[in-house]
Chains A and B, each alone.
Chain A
Amino acid sequence: MEPITTEIVVVGAGPGGYAAAFYAADKGKKVALVEQNPRLGGICLNVGCIPSKALLHATEIFREVKESTSRGIEFSEPKVELEKLRAWKESILEKLGQGITGLAKQRGVQVVHGRGHFEDSQTLRVETREGQKFIRYEKAVIAVGSKPAMPSAFDLGNPRIMTSTEALELPDIPPDLLVVGGGYIGMELGTVYAALGSHVVVLEALPSILTGVDADLVRPVTRAAQKAFKEIRVNTKVLKMATAGKQIKVTMETDKQPREELYDRVLVSVGRAPNLADLGLENTRVTKDDKGFIQCNAQQQTEDPNIYAIGDVNGGALLAHRATKEGRIAVEAMLGEASSFDNVVIPAVVYTDPEVAWCGLTENQAKEKGIDVRIAKFLWGASGRALTLDRPDGMTKLIIEPETERILGMGIVGVSAGDLISEGVLAVEMGATARDLADSVHPHPTLSETLMEAAESFYGTATHALSRRSSSPK
């Protein structure tokens, strides 16, 4: 069969891959987009960001219903029709997936459905339903993403032991659910199942959930989760899992104290691994690091000058928006533009209840690197908007360079933190000072005022807080 010839082939149609393909097409390139899944959108759309946020939104209602009683509004006990909930979630994915397919069509991006395999630095073989197809390309972008890691000791082939992919399918509402790993995926999905009625126990091997995130941002999440979950058990390792009838027998160890418990389902959320097996990278000059992620330079170019890599396959923070940005950089680099992943601020959001979001330098990083910074905080208990939402459990903080008053980072915990952090990204990217933020008028009454007031508190002049001047972290 005649091979397909194209200027650029993008392997993987996730938020990195399809964005790169569209951008290249917008820049006048001939582009092919290869995806093994019938629906475009990758992990993010199919088994990641979107379905999890749909479920989180739906389950938020439970909390609202419960708490409305104290506001003088009573509902009868909510009932869950799992099938309908699943269908609603599915309809969102379908709509978004169709949208991407339509956008690809309008741009003339050729979508090839099938699994891609590199034959050499200029040829990709695709196993499609209609048989093998060969794509001759000038440049390729690897954007095949990652999958949930499943340690072989837990991989009993028992469907009751799930990764995030299966958990998002909502097979049922298990009476007792064990979540192994207190990272953001475990905490988010734990929140969903807890709201739906499961007794959720979260295990974390380290001394705190959401390891790496500043402790003061995690605290409100821990407090809320302790209420919503049956238990959060830190410093705990799973030693063994075994099938026990319709349950899973889990042997674990907390501070050297072993114990055995039975669970109806187990969610394993202990990290993610790149989807690089069987991609034919050995036929190219692409190299991997010792953790198995692809190595590339600031232009996203791998050791093979024809091949670029973006997103989860490169390791680091596995985030959709980082993949998207890297995709744009890769395309610009291919076009010969002076583009580079140069001090790009990548915000992170954890969709727990309340949400946590941060960008730029964190307080933890400043401490680790011995960087002298000032921290300016504003507690949401003093925010009118937070009180009207009945969510005073929040905090906004700025990490500031003392000599220049430049904002190096921002951290937020509270409802809608994920939406609020964008202003922090802009501030850090623009090299804004605390004065810039304090002097920009923020609308009242909104949660965004907490950013302005945090900046004001740096100068000891926040309207709604009697603040000393900002402190340096201990």
Chain B
Amino acid sequence: MDVKLPQLAEGVEGGTVVNILVAEGQEIQKDQAIMELETQKAVGSIPAPSTGVVTKIHVNQGMEVSVGQVLISIESSGAAAGATAKPAQNPAASSAAPSVDSPSRPSPEATAPPSQAADGYRYESKSGAPPPASPSIRKVARDLGIDLTRVKGSEAGGRINLADMRAYIQWLQEIAGQGTAAAAAAQSGAATPATPSQAVDFSQWGPVRREKMSPLRRTVSRRMVESWTTIPKINQFDDADITALLALRKKHAATFAKKGAHLTVTSFLLLVLGRTLKKHPRANSSLDDSSLEIVYKDYCHIGVAVDTEGGLIVPILRNVDQKNLLQLSQELDSLAEKTRQRKIAIEELQGGTFTISNQGSIGGSHFTPIIYAPQVAILGVGQGRAQPVAVDGKIAIRTILPLCLAYDHRVLDGADAVRFLKDVIAGLESFDEADLKLK
């Protein structure tokens, strides 16, 4: 049997083989680690799906592998032949479960026609009951991330069986194929070619050095292209006068420090944003293109861009709207530290509803951040600087924080954005000292 690399997690499509732990001809046990793989954030091991003998290793150390690629071949011994893919053994790391090509899988012709999974189908029950399916089918659906309300059941009472699910997946693949073909056709018709830019020989002008993009760099690159090319983005600039806020910080920083919390502009921003997002739920929403629905989230998980040695990583602070300034400051500290050490779990990078990118500690004024899809807005924060401004008709020296809200115009309109940003600024400029009191 061929052991393939499965989908590891959302947004992770491959990795680098760091270590191969088995050799050809070696007898291995089920669940034994066969190799270590570095993904965008951590190193995880891949367990063997069954007991057997390694007949061939298809990859080399240092090789880039992607989902679906064959890693090794195993000749199964006896009872292990029917073994199915097994989930990861190490909960802390992003270890992965290899998928196995089962010889018993029936040919596609034997299954129900894909047309059965009609476009836009949604299971609805007047009683509010979930789609009827046995626990084992529900488990498979969870494993594959299939929403069973979209699968049409063929059995009595609309019950979904494995064949129904298979038909649905085939239909999805077909749609995906058509989608790619359509996109390719559209692109080839357009004036600009979609192919990557021609390789340029830079060495003709002087010595150069080439360095492979790390998995993290590539993820950032891919996500940014995706966001840039799919989201009609508007940048809304404004400034906040944080003179009073900084005075409050100075007054209370020591008390917070005693609790091991670092009081930063970002922690203030988190508290203010938690409240502002509650007031403007649209800025906390996402667009579901497939169903043409706007998905409002009752939770508020804010991503904070962290600069690490390896590049940009955005860990998520959960339920920001329910936490006080001390909790936010403490969590921010520990999350940023974990991120810098690259000890952050993939789950901790997922599920964000809004993002802050604060470059103020490094420098810089206004800049236009790129939205982290499927979120609909991001706040770019520059460095607070002393500036002469007009206060009550007189010139005064105040600390001015440059802000830029970049937003998805499909979901938010200009007026929404201005109102949102105004509330953020008001939250910063008249920050209530009561929020700094430690209970």
Contact = CB atoms under 8 A, between A and B. Distances in A.
A335 B87 contact: yes
Interface stretch (A150-158, A218-226, A400-408, A463-471): A400-408
Contacts of A342: 130, 138, 142
B127 A371 contact: yes
Contacts of B91: 138-139, 333-336
B88 A336 contact: yes
A343 B92 CA distance: 27
A338 B9 CA distance: 11
A369 B128 contact: yes
5 contacts: A337-B143, A401-B129, A430-B134, A431-B159, A433-B156
A324 B347 CA distance: 25
Given A305-B345, A337-B143, A401-B129, 13 more contacts: A303-B318, A305-B347, A335-B89, A336-B91, A338-B87, A338-B139, A372-B127, A401-B127, A405-B157, A406-B129, A431-B157, A431-B159, A433-B159
Those 10 A-B pairs whose CB atoms lie nearest each other, nearest first = A431-B132, A338-B142, A404-B157, A336-B88, A406-B157, A433-B157, A337-B87, A334-B91, A431-B159, A371-B127
Contact of A405 (B95, B126, B156): B156
A226 B318 CA distance: 54
Interface in B130-170: 130-135, 138-139, 142-143, 145, 153, 156-160
B377 to A, nearest CB: 26
Given A340-B142, A342-B142, A401 B126 contact: yes
Interface in A186-233: none
A244 to B, nearest CB: 46
B129 to A, nearest CB: 6
A408 B129 contact: yes
A372 B132 contact: no
Nearest to B127: A371
Contacts of B138: 342-343
Contact of B134 (A28, A334, A429): A429
Contacts of A343: 130, 138
A435 interface: yes
B128 A336 contact: no
A83 B158 CA distance: 58
Contacts of A404: 125, 132, 157-158
Nearest to B47: A28
Interface string B75-110: 000000000000111111001010000000000000
Interface in B334-348: 345, 347-348
Nearest to A345: B135
A366 interface: yes
A371 B156 contact: no
A382 interface: no
Contact of A371 (B87, B126, B157): B126
Nearest to B135: A429
B31 interface: yes
B282 to A, nearest CB: 25
Contact of B133 (A27, A138, A403, A431): A431
Indicate the member of A334, A335, A372 with the most B CB atoms within 10 Å.
Answer: A335
Interface of A: 27-28, 138-139, 303, 305, 332-340, 342-343, 361, 366, 369, 371-373, 401, 403-406, 408, 429-433, 435-436
A59 B332 CA distance: 61
Given A305-B345, A431-B157, A338 B143 contact: yes
A429 B87 CA distance: 24
A335 B44 CA distance: 13
A299 to B, nearest CB: 10
The A interface is mostly helix, strand or loop, or mixed, namely loop
B92 A138 contact: yes
A138 B93 CA distance: 12
Contacts of B159: 406, 430-433
A388 B199 CA distance: 89
Contacts of B128: 369, 371
A410 to B, nearest CB: 14
Contacts of B345: 305
Interface in B156-195: 156-160
Nearest to B322: A287
Given A335-B88, A336-B87, A361 B127 contact: yes
Indicate the member of A27, A404, A429 with the most B CB atoms within 10 Å.
Answer: A404
A338 B140 CA distance: 9
A28 B88 CA distance: 12
A435 to B, nearest CB: 6
B345 to A, nearest CB: 7
A132 to B, nearest CB: 25
A340 B140 CA distance: 12
A366 B126 CA distance: 11
B127 A366 contact: yes
Given A338-B139, A339-B142, A401 B134 contact: no
B118 to A, nearest CB: 18
Nearest to B160: A431
A27 B160 CA distance: 30
A267 B89 CA distance: 48
Contacts of A435: 156
A431 B142 contact: no
B134 A403 contact: no
Contacts of A340: 142
B75 to A, nearest CB: 23
Interface in B13-30: none
B127 A408 contact: yes
Contacts of B126: 371-372, 401, 403
A336 B95 contact: yes
Nearest to A343: B130
A435 B142 CA distance: 28
Contacts of A432: 157, 159
Interface string B348-363: 1000000000000000
A422 to B, nearest CB: 14
B299 to A, nearest CB: 11
A248 to B, nearest CB: 43
A139 B91 CA distance: 9
A393 B157 CA distance: 32
A138 B157 CA distance: 45
A406 B89 contact: no
B134 A373 contact: no
